[in-house]
Amino acid sequence: MEKNNEFRKATIQKLLVRLELWFAPFLIIMPMSVSMLFLGDWYMRGFSQQSTLYDGELWLGLLLLCVNFFFDVLFIRSIRMQKKRDF
């Protein structure tokens, strides 16, 4: 009975890793594209027209880009380590 329970836990853990691998592109690309939209909006409306009203878009875009890059590196590293350990 205990061995069967351990097998189920291992199977569920492998399925969770597979699910994370499927969602990884979405979790990486979506925030990057949103930050690029903010940066593009700042460039087109703020920088090109020399308006300081759009500096918030610049800071928000840079914040999203930097934080996403930092956590994506850690996320990808942890998925790779988990994948190596499981398979």
The per-residue DSSP string of 1-66 comes to -HHHHHHHHHHHHHHHHHHHHHHHHHHHHHHHHHHHHHHHHIIIIIITTT-GGGHHHHHHHHHHHH
**pLDDT of 23 over the 80 cut:** yes
The residue-averaged pLDDT of 28-34 equals: 91
Residue 81 vs residue 48, higher pLDDT: 48
**Between residues 45 and 20, which one has the greater pLDDT?**
45
Average pLDDT of span 22-29: 85
pLDDT at residue 66 above 90? yes
Do residues 33 and 41 touch, judged by C-beta distance below 8 A? no
Q: How long, in residues, is the chain?
A: 87
Q: What pLDDT, on a 0 to 100 scale, did the predictor assign at position 2? A: 67
- Inform me whether the pLDDT recorded for 87 exceeds 80: no
Q: Is 71 helix (H, G, I), strand (E, B) or coil?
A: helix
39 or 6, which is more confident: 39
